[in-house]
């Protein structure tokens, strides 16, 4: 127990009789307490409480204009369940009714006048000890909460790093810059926001999109890196990367990996139903898959790969416009073009 804290506790004394206030102040001074503020006007209680934020209130019951019962109700309206403010009622009213009512209205202890000085200090000290322990518990809980938040931030940071590393694995063999997955994620997040997707969901899409081609790790190099067109058999094998990716991400409890699985499985579906692996069409294709389909297409065409040269920006945009409502969701195309237009305007 910290005796120094108790001796430095802030008192607020409210009693309409000046003699009673002076007596309490002398008792407190002789017992080593130095920080107390007193008033004979109960109407000042609220402003003094707000100003001083006392550690204990010594309160008379029978006062003019606002009695102690009204004062107790006012104070309890300001004190939350998590906040412990001891209130010691000191009154000449010795009736059981007054005592029970005061305790019911929020008083923590009750003494009748004339009171024994030793008992007053013992009661005050016990109440302050309880407040001190309560504050210590609050501080301990706050410290634990901060540690939990810090640990959560560390775990979130680790999760983001793992997502980034997983995204890189899918591009390690056919993207020497290792930036394709990052760019697809950024563009997918922007498109989602442009479409009015809630920010939290758009962020999930941004984080999950880089894993869209993680299934490529199961495709042999002679197919993945082949220059020129695939044979029908090679293309069939290439298309299996969607299912491979979905299987890798299957069963996760993390929302971002659940979204990543959906994207990995559906980002090659087409608006007109001519895509793979299921031939879904229109809004049967999950929105995240429709968004990443365009983001991936745009980035793949505008950047060079070992097996292809980069298209110009103008050529790529023209191709995307042509494939609006066939390959791509028309609304996704419109949102994408707005983003590109803003970027061009700002450059």
Counting Cα atoms < 13 Å in the Cβ hemisphere of 181 gives 27
- pLDDT score, position 160: 76
Q: Is a pLDDT exceeding 90 seen at residue 128?
A: yes
Helix, strand, or coil here: 87?
Answer: strand
- pLDDT score, position 304: 79
- pLDDT score, position 162: 78
- pLDDT score, position 312: 93
Helix, strand, or coil here: 138?
Answer: helix
> For strand 56-59 and strand 87-91, is the pairing parallel, antiparallel, or unpaired?
parallel
With beta carbons less than 8 A apart as the criterion, state whether 285 and 269 touch: yes
With beta carbons less than 8 A apart as the criterion, state whether 266 and 280 touch: yes
Mean pLDDT of 118-134: 92
Distance, CA of 200 to CA of 341 (rounded, Å): 25
Nearest in space to 33 (alpha carbons), one of 58, 59, 5, 73: 5
- pLDDT score, position 12: 95
Give the model's confidence band at 132: pLDDT under 50 very low, under 70 low, under 90 confident, else very high. very high
Q: Is a pLDDT exceeding 80 seen at residue 198?
A: yes
> Per-residue pLDDT tens for 199-254?
999 999 999 999 999 998 888 888 887 877 889 999 999 999 999 999 999 998 88
The tokens for 103 are 């305790």
- pLDDT score, position 175: 58
Give the model's confidence band at 43: pLDDT under 50 very low, under 70 low, under 90 confident, else very high. very high
Mean pLDDT of 335-339: 96
Bin 106: left if φ > 0, else alpha if -120 < ψ < 50, else beta: left
- pLDDT score, position 228: 78
CB within 8 Å of 111: residues ≥ 6 apart: 88, 89, 90, 91, 119, 120, 123
Confirm whether pTM is higher than 0.75.
no
> For strand 87-91 and strand 11-14, is the pairing parallel, antiparallel, or unpaired?
unpaired
- pLDDT score, position 177: 46
Mean pLDDT of 157-162: 78
The tokens for 150 are 């810090």
Give the model's confidence band at 306: pLDDT under 50 very low, under 70 low, under 90 confident, else very high. low
With beta carbons less than 8 A apart as the criterion, state whether 287 and 263 touch: no
Q: CA–CA distance from 138 to each of 3, 133, 297 (Å)? A: 19, 9, 54
Q: Is pLDDT larger for residue 95 or for residue 291?
A: 291
CB within 8 Å of 108: residues ≥ 6 apart: 86, 87, 88, 127
H-only helix segments in 14-116: 18-30, 45-52, 68-78, 96-104
> Per-residue pLDDT tens for 75-103?
988 887 677 899 999 988 888 999 899 99
Burial annotation 281-315 (CB, 10 A radius, 16+ → b, else e): eeeebbbbbbbbbbbbbbbbbebebeeeeebeeee
With beta carbons less than 8 A apart as the criterion, state whether 87 and 106 touch: yes
Mean pLDDT of 175-192: 84
* Domains, the chain, ordered by start: 3-145 (3.40.50.2300), 172-346 (1.10.3210.10)
Mean pLDDT of 304-332: 91
Q: Is a pLDDT exceeding 70 seen at residue 307?
A: no
Burial annotation 116-148 (CB, 10 A radius, 16+ → b, else e): eeeebbebbbebbbebbeeeeeeeeeeeeeeee
Helix, strand, or coil here: 90?
Answer: strand
Average pLDDT, the chain: 90
Distance, CA of 76 to CA of 138 (rounded, Å): 19
- pLDDT score, position 347: 62
Mean pLDDT of 313-342: 96
> Among 158-162, 215-219, 264-268, which stretch is predicted with the lowest mean pLDDT?
158-162
């Amino acid at each position: 127990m910290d005796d120094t804290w108790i001796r430095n506790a802030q008192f607020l004394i409210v009693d309409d009789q000046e003699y009673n206030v002076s007596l309490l102040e002398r008792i407190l001074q002789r017992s080593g307490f130095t920080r107390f503020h007193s008033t004979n006007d109960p109407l000042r209680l609220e402003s003094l409480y707000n100003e001083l934020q006392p550690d204990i209130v010594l309160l008379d019951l029978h006062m003019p204009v606002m009695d102690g019962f009204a004062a107790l109700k006012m104070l309890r309206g300001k004190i939350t369940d998590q906040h412990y403010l001891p209130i010691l009622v000191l009154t000449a009213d010795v009736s059981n009714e007054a005592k029970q009512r005061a305790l019911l209205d929020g008083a923590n202890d009750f003494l009748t006048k004339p009171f024994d000085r030793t008992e007053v200090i013992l009661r005050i000290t016990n109440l302050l000890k309880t407040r001190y322990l309560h504050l210590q518990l609050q501080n301990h809980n706050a410290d634990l909460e901060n540690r939990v938040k810090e640990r959560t931030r560390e775990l979130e940071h680790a999760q983001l790093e793992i997502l980034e590393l997983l995204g890189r694995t899918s591009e390690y063999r056919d993207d020497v810059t290792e930036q394709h997955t990052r760019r697809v994620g950024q563009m997918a997040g922007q498109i989602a926001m442009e479409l009015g997707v809630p920010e939290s969901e758009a962020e999930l899409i941004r984080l999950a999109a880089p894993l869209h081609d993680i299934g490529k790790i199961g495709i042999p190099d002679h197919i993945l890196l082949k220059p020129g067109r695939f044979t029908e058999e090679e293309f069939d094998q290439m298309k299996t990367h969607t299912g491979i990716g979905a299987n890798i991400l299957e069963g996760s409890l993390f929302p971002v990996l659940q979204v990543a699985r959906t994207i990995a499985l559906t980002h090659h579906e087409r608006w007109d139903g001519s895509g793979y692996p299921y031939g879904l069409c229109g809004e049967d294709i999950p929105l995240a898959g429709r968004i990443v389909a365009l983001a991936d297409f745009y980035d793949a065409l505008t950047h060079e790969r070992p097996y292809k040269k980069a298209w110009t920006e103008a050529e790529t945009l023209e191709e995307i416009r042509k494939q609006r409502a066939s390959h791509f969701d028309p609304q996704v195309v419109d949102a994408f073009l707005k983003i590109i237009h803003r970027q061009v305007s700002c450059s």
